Amino acid sequence: MKAPAFWWTAPTTASTLLSPLGFLYGLVAARNLRKGKRAALPVPVLCVGNLTVGGAGKTPTAIALAEAAKTLGRKPGFISRGYKRRGRKPLLVDPETHKAAAVGDEPLLLAEIAPTAVCSNRKKAADLLIEKAGCDLVILDDGFQSAQLASDYALLVVDARRGLGNWEVFPAGPLRAPLKAQFNHLSAILLVGSGDAGAAVVSEAARSNHAVHRAHLVAKDGDRLRGMRVLAFAGIGDPQKFVESLKRCGADVERSRAFPDHHRYTSANIAALSAEAWKSGLQLVTTAKDAARLRTGDEAAQLFLQECEVLEVALRFEGETTARSIVKRTLAEFHRHRYGV
Whether 227 has a binding-site annotation, put simply, is no
What angle is formed at CA 31 by the lines to CA 28 and CA 37, rounded to 5 degrees?
A: 120
Residue 104: inside a domain: no
Whether 57 has a binding-site annotation, put simply, is yes
Nearest to 159 by CA among 279, 249, 11, 57: 57
Residue 14: inside a domain: yes
Whether 54 has a binding-site annotation, put simply, is yes
Q: Are 184 and 251 contained in the same domain?
A: no
Whether 59 has a binding-site annotation, put simply, is yes
Q: How many domains is the chain built from?
A: 2
Q: Are 206 and 226 contained in the same domain?
A: no
Kindly give the pairing relationship between strand 91-92 and strand 76-80.
Answer: unpaired
Tell me how crowded residue 163 is: count the other CB atoms within 10 A of its CB.
23
Q: Are 227 and 299 contained in the same domain?
A: yes
Residue 110: inside a domain: no
Q: What are the Cα distances from residue 292, in Å, to 77, 95, 191, 310? A: 20, 10, 26, 10
The H or E element containing residue 132 is helix 122-132
Q: Are 328 and 288 contained in the same domain?
A: no
Kindly report the pTM of this predicted structure: 0.94
Q: Is the peptide bond before 4 cis (omega within 30 degrees of 0)?
A: no
Whether 73 has a binding-site annotation, put simply, is no
Answer for the pair 249, 223: CB distance below 8 angstroms, yes or no: yes
Sheet holding 211-220, edge to edge: 91-92, 116-118, 76-80, 137-141, 45-50, 153-159, 188-192, 211-220, 308-317, 283-287, 229-234, 252-258
Domain holding 28, by residue range, is 5-74+136-217+317-339
Would you write out the chain's pLDDT as a tens digit for each of its 341 residues? 577 889 998 889 999 999 999 999 999 999 999 999 999 999 999 999 999 997 789 999 999 999 999 999 999 999 998 877 776 789 999 999 999 988 989 999 999 999 999 999 999 999 999 999 999 999 999 999 999 999 999 999 999 999 999 999 999 999 999 999 999 999 999 999 988 888 888 899 999 999 999 999 999 999 999 999 999 999 998 899 999 999 999 999 999 999 999 899 999 999 999 999 999 999 999 999 999 999 999 999 999 999 999 999 999 999 999 999 999 999 999 999 888 87
Answer for the pair 240, 215: CB distance below 8 angstroms, yes or no: no
Q: Are 284 and 335 contained in the same domain?
A: no
Q: Are 169 and 34 contained in the same domain?
A: yes
Kindly give the pairing relationship between strand 229-234 and strand 188-192.
Answer: unpaired
Q: What is the pLDDT of residue 338?
A: 86
Q: What is the pLDDT of residue 1?
A: 58
Residue 267: inside a domain: yes
Residue 129: inside a domain: no
CATH code: domain of residue 70: 3.40.50
Whether 97 has a binding-site annotation, put simply, is no
Q: Are 64 and 149 contained in the same domain?
A: yes
Q: Are 154 and 276 contained in the same domain?
A: no
Q: Are 278 and 300 contained in the same domain?
A: yes
Whether 58 has a binding-site annotation, put simply, is yes
- Which value, in Å, is the radius of gyration of the alpha carbons in the chain? 20
Residue 187: inside a domain: yes
Residue 36: inside a domain: yes
Whether 55 has a binding-site annotation, put simply, is yes
d(CA 196, CA 205): 15
Q: Are 204 and 254 contained in the same domain?
A: no
Residue 95: inside a domain: no
Q: Are 279 and 141 contained in the same domain?
A: no
Q: Are 30 and 144 contained in the same domain?
A: yes
